[in-house]
Structure 1
Amino acid sequence: MKHLLLLALALPLSAQDKATEPKPLSIFDGKTLSGWNVHCLPKDQGKKYWSVHNGAIQCDSRSDGKHNYVWLIHEKEFADFELRLKLQCFEAKKGNSGIQIRSRWNPDDGQGWLNGPQIDIHPPAPWRTGFIYDETRGVQHWISPVRPSHQLSEKQAFPNGRPDGWKFHYATEEKDVWNDLKIRCIGTQITTWLNGVQITDFDGSKVLTDEHHQKANVGMKGHIALQLHSRDQILIRFKDITVLPYSKSND
């Protein structure tokens, strides 16, 4: 024990800090949906939209557009964190998806709503990917950029044009390509990157702690979830999903 103590004291401060830094947590094992649970209305229970395909979480609703929202929710809760994943979309497949953060499923409201902010993914208009729509009851509009409803144009999202280096990759049966998505949540600040390009840096100090979020207990802590949007027919995949529990000292 004495030798271990002397060794710790002899280490440079930076090395000691690295030893205590949180490590990335993989929340998808690449083989099963262990740790993930499907939440939906009773009429959609038993439908196999969510599965594992070639090491990725796949949502495939191409053969059935008669469904409500169907969510794949991870069992753990996170507050401050950095989420990284790879995303595969197909240009010919219409539909909307998204990644819920700090969110909670409400089975008691009769509609089975998932309250909380969502990082949008929209293959038909890929420029929307990375912007933030808030699904919380009483909010339900874009919060970054701020818009009063679900309507959003590319000019409103990028008034000065798409940022330098912006790109979005579509996969095909012959081309197995992916997009990198990173989401960082620190306090009321939410920052997103698509393929290394920053999309939004949202200060939610007057939003994420308001009465609507407090009532639903979301916005500052909650679950990560993947969305199948109501009535949409889509093929989309997610893999290499890791979470780094975060504090300001990591920055």
Structure 2
Amino acid sequence: MKKIIAFAFILLSTHVLHAQKMVALFNGKNLSGWTVHGTEKWYVEKGELVCESGPDKQYGYLSTDKKYKNFELNLKFKQEADGNSGVFIRSSIEGVKISGWQVEVAPINKNTGGIYESYGRGWLIKPKPEDEKHLKVGKWNTMKIRVVNDQVTTWLNGHQMVDFSDSKIGAANGFIALQIHDGGGIKVKWKDIILKEL
């Protein structure tokens, strides 16, 4: 009996430690744990995180206060109007000039799930054209981003979009950030932003 109890305790401890690695980056109430960069609009409405073009119609970012190296990030997004946006990984920022890598969130046939290096090499990898069909226009989409050392893999609605290895990404560390593109007329909603550190 003692062995059974000890084994159950070990299993419970392992489960607790695993659960502790899961972090809700967005609490559904406010922007606690995040920092706004730029004049674009970031607000919470009905438990959803909304980014919307502001009066300057420029780039805007919402970055985590904490840096994350190796992780698996799951989130949901819905594009309204022109949905050009993205999720930055291992990034840093000065003003509204961001350095890092963006997993694209964009309208159909605009490379959602691909990886773009901001102020650097540009597009590193784009999804196959036939994979664009996995984007649900005007509806909630699920995205998963897995970053381990120099490997980045993305999924859209359960379908793998890209799997990419890069030494420059592997050497970096930084925050996660959501982007709103410049140009105006853009609105994207986010929810269920859950991160597991690896």
TM-based fold match above 0.5: yes
Separation in structure 2 between the aligned mates of residue 20 and residue 95 of structure 1, nearest angstrom: 37
Q: Which residue of 1 is the match for residue 98 of structure 2? A: 114
**Hey, what does 2:50 align to over in structure 1?**
58
Q: Confirm or deny: 8 A CA contact 1:96 1:232 kept in the other structure.
A: no
- Give 1:35 deviation, angstroms: 1.1
- Give distance in 2, aligned partners of 1:230 and 1:103: 19
CA distance in 1, matches of 2:178, 2:131: 26
Instruction: Pick the structure with greater CA Rg.
Output: 1
Asked if structure 1 preserves the Cα contact closer than 8 Å seen for 2:102 and 2:115, the reply is yes
Q: Which residue of 2 aligns with 1:158?
A: 128
Contact 2:83-2:105 within 8 A present in 1 as well: no
1:19 is displaced (CA, Å) by 4.4
- 2:114 and 2:74 map into 1 onto residues whose CA distance is 16
| Matched-pair contact (CA < 8 Å) for 1:89–1:169 | no
Does the CA-based 8 Å contact 2:131-2:161 persist in structure 1? no
Which structure has greater strand proportion? 2
**Is the Cα–Cα contact under 8 Å of residues 86 and 102 in structure 2 kept in the other structure?**
yes
CA RMSD of aligned residues (A): 2.6
| Deviation for aligned residue 1:231 | 2.1
Residue number in structure 2 paired with 1:227: 179
Secondary structure of residue in 2 paired with 1:128 = coil
State the shift of 1:12 in Å: 9.1
TM-score, scaled relative to structure 1: 0.70
- Consecutive unaligned residues in structure 2, runs of 5 or more: none
Asked whether the 8 Å contact 2:128–2:161 carries over to 1, the reply is: no
| Counterpart amino acid of residue 20 in structure 1 | L
Calculate the TM-score normalised by the size of structure 2. 0.87
TM alignment of 1:212-251, pairs within 5 A = 220-246=172-198
- Secondary structure, in 3 states, of the residue corresponding to 1:129? coil
- Cα deviation for residue 122 of structure 1 reads 0.9
Q: Secondary structure at the match of 2:177?
A: strand
| Residue 22 (structure 2) aligned to one of 24, 29, 39 | 24
The number of residue pairs the alignment matches comes to 196
1:167 Cα offset (Å)? 2.0
Which residue is 1:103 aligned to?
91
Counterpart residue identity of residue 227, structure 1? Q
| Aligned-partner residue type, residue 28 of structure 1 | F
1:95, distance to aligned residue in structure 2 (A)? 4.8
Report the counterpart of residue 141 of structure 1 in structure 2. 122
4+ residue runs of structure 1 moved beyond 2 angstroms?
5-8, 10-23
Task: Indicate whether 1:86 and 2:71 are aligned.
Answer: no
CA-CA distance at 1:106 after TM superposition = 1.8
- Matching residue of 1:74: 64
In the alignment, does 2:132 pair up with 1:170?
A: no
One-letter identity of the residue aligned with 1:208: I
Matched residues in 1 for 2:78 and 2:122: separation?
A: 25
The answer to whether 1:128 aligns with 2:89 is no
Match of 2:169 among 208, 216, 225: 208
Alpha-carbon shift at residue 13 of structure 1 (Å)? 7.2
